[in-house]
Structure 1
Amino acid sequence: MMPTLQSHPWPTLALVLITVLWGCTFIIVQAALSLSSPMFFVGCRFAMAAFILLLFSFKTLKDTTWQDTSAGLIIGLAIAIGYGTQTMGLQSILSSESAFLTALYVPLVPIIQWILFKKMPRLMTWLGILFAFSGLILLTGNHSLDLSFSHGQLLTLMSAFAVAIEIILIGWFSKRVNIQRVTIIQLISASLFAFLSTPILGETNISTPTWQFWAIIVGIGVATALIQFVMNWAQQYVDATRATIIYSGEPVWAGVIGRIAGERLSTFAILGAILVLIGVLISDLKLKKSNKNEI
C-alpha cells in the first residue's frame, strides 16, 4: 500500500522540528566529548536511545522479519560510521571545518540517488541544494574551502558520505519495513558497532564516566531516539533529496541555540542561515511540468 500522507505537510513539518532538535544537541555533544572518548560516547548515546524506544516498543520486536533486521543492521552501520568518523575528526580539526565537510552530504545525496536510481533531481531541487550548500559554506565559516586532506578532514569526508548513504537507505527501506522495529534495530546496531570499534581505534583506557556524563547521555538519548524514529517515519513520504535539504537547516538551529547561549553570529553566518532557509523553501516549489524520472 502506498503512503497516504504523500502530499500532507505533516511529514515535512516533522522533519523541520527534529532538525531544530538536532541543532540543539550540538552544544551537548561538545560538552560530552570533554568527558569521554569519541566512540564510547557514540556507543552510549545510541544504546540509551535504543533503550528508551524499547520501553515503549518491546512487544513489537516479536514479529521482526529478516528484512527488518537486515535494514536495521545496514542503516545502523552507516550511522555508526557517520557519527563515529565525524566525532573522531573533531579531535584534530576545527568545528567549522567539520561542519563544512559534513555538509557535503547535501549535494552527495541527490548525486548518489541519481547514480543508483537513475532519477534526475528537478530544477527547483538543484536550486534548493545550491542555496542550501552555499548557505552552509557561509554558516560554517570555511569560506576559503581550504582542503589539505589531513587525517581529520579525511575522516570527516567519510562521515559526509556515510550520512548521505544513511539518508538514502532510510528513504529506500522506510516504504518496505516496519519503521518501529527497524528504528530500534538500527539504534542497537549503531551502538554495538561503536562499542566494538573502541579497541580497534585505540580507545582502551576509558575512564569511569561521571554523573554529568550519564546525565548528558540520558538527555541526548531521548533526543536521538526521537530524531531517528521521526526520520524513518517521515521519509516514507518525503523524498531523500528533499529531506536532505531540510536537514541542512541543522547548523542554522545550532547557530541560533549558540547565540542564545552567548555565542556571537557573524554577518556571514546570518547570511548563510538565510540562504539555507531559502533553499528549503525553493526545493518545495514545482514547475508546471516535470519528468517522471525526476525527483
Structure 2
Amino acid sequence: MRSSPRERRESGRARDRPRPRCVIRVAPLAALVGVTAIWGVTFVQVQDAIALYPLFAFLAVRFAISALALAPFAWRAVLALPRAGLVAGLGVGLLLAGAYGFQTAGLDRTTVASTGFITGLYVVFTPLLALRLFGTRVPGVAWVGVVLAVVGLLLLNGVPGGSALGNVLVLVNAVLQSFQIAAMERFAPRYDPRALTFLQMSASSVAFAILAVALGQVEVPHGSTVWGALLVTGIFAGALGYLIATWVQARTTAARAALAFTLEAPFAALFGVLLADEVLGWVGWAGCAVMLAGIVLAEPAAADVLRRVVGRRTSS
C-alpha cells in the first residue's frame, strides 16, 4: 500500500530531524568502551601466545596483519594524503610502537602490578600534554575523573614496586602513550581515519620487525594458540580497534579519550577472571568501580544519560 504525499513529507521530516545531542555525544564514548573491551579480552590470548613465540616477532606480525587487513579500504585514502598527513600518520605510529616497546622492556624488569599502574599514568599526562602542546582546554570535571581513574588503577594493580630501571622504562611508555593520544586529537580531525590507522599499523610493524631482527627473534609463527592470538589482535584489536579509536578521537578530547582507554585495565582483569581463572578480589573490583565513576564524571553526556535513566526508573 502506497503512502500519501503527506505521509511521505512527514517521514522525510522525521529522517531529517537531528538526533538528540546526548546520543551524538555518547556514541564516541560507547565506541571507545567497546574498543577497550576488545583490547582487554586479548590479554589472555597474548599472554598464552608470547609464552610460545618471541615477543617482538609477535608484535611485528600482529601489526603487519592489521596493516594488511586495512590495506584494501585505506590505500586510496593514503594516496590522497598530503605530505603532512603521511608524516603525521607515520610519526604517530612510531609513538605507538615506542610505547609498546618500552612497556615490554620495562615488564621484563619490574612487576606486572607496577607496569599496569605506571602505564595508567598516561591518564594524567595526556591532558597536561594536550594543554601544553595544543592549548586544549580541559574541563574541571575531567580532572576529577582523572583523579578517580588514577585511584582506580592503584586499587586494581596495587602499590607499584619492583626494579627502578623497569619502572622508568614503563614511565617512558606512559609518556609516549600520552603523546600518541594527544597527537591523535590534533591530527584525527584533519585526515582520513583509514589512512591514519593504516600508517600507524605499518610504522609499528616495521619498527618491531627491525627490533626482532636485531634481537634474533625472527621465527615463523606456528600453532593454533599463536595464530589465533595473531589474527584476533591483528584484525579486531589492531585494524578494527584502532580504526574506531581514530574515528572517535576526531570527535572527543584527548583527556576523555585517555580516561576511556583506562577501561582496558578492568576489562583485562575481568576477562582474566572469566577465562584464566585469576582471582581479582574485592579491592580489584572496587578499582573497576572507581574507574567507571571517573569515566561518567568526565563525560557529561554519559552522566546526563545515567541521570535520565535513573530518573525514569524512580518515577515509574
Structure label with greater radius of gyration: 2
Other-structure match for 1:270:
285
Other-structure match for 1:209:
221
> Secondary structure of the residue that 2:300 maps to in structure 1?
coil
- Contact 1:67/1:177, CA 8 A, preserved across alignment: no
Other-structure match for 1:166:
180
Count of equivalent residues:
279
The answer to which structure has the higher helix fraction is 2
Distance apart, 1:168 and its partner CA: 0.8
Tell me if 1:86 matches 2:103.
Answer: yes
Give the TM-score normalised by the residue count of structure 1: 0.88
Where in structure 1 are there 5+ consecutive unaligned residues?
A: 287-295
Other-structure match for 2:54:
37
- Contact 1:79/1:162, CA 8 A, preserved across alignment: yes
Other-structure match for 1:280:
295
Find the aligned partners of 1:211 and 1:277 in 2 and give their Cα distance.
37
> Secondary structure of the residue that 1:92 maps to in structure 2?
coil
Residue number among 126, 136, 156 corresponding to 2:170 in the alignment: 156
Other-structure match for 2:239:
225
- Contact 2:57/2:219, CA 8 A, preserved across alignment: no
Distance apart, 1:148 and its partner CA: 4.8
Find the aligned partners of 1:187 and 1:216 in 2 and give their Cα distance.
17
- Contact 1:170/1:232, CA 8 A, preserved across alignment: yes
Which structure is richer in relative contact order (CA contacts within 8 A, separation 6 or more)?
1
Identity of aligned residues (%): 28
Amino acid at match of 2:272: G
- Contact 1:167/1:240, CA 8 A, preserved across alignment: yes
Equivalent positions of 1:104-253 (< 5 A) are 104-141=121-158, 143=159, 145-146=160-161, 148-150=163-165, 152-200=166-214, 203-212=215-224, 213-223=226-236, 224-253=238-267
Distance apart, 1:147 and its partner CA: 6.3
Distance apart, 1:38 and its partner CA: 2.4
> Secondary structure of the residue that 2:63 maps to in structure 1?
helix
Distance apart, 1:79 and its partner CA: 0.8
Where in structure 2 are there 5+ consecutive unaligned residues?
A: 1-18, 302-316
Give the TM-score normalised by the residue count of structure 2: 0.82
Find the aligned partners of 1:186 and 1:98 in 2 and give their Cα distance.
23
RMSD value, Cα? 2.1
> Secondary structure of the residue that 1:112 maps to in structure 2?
helix
Amino acid at match of 2:289: I
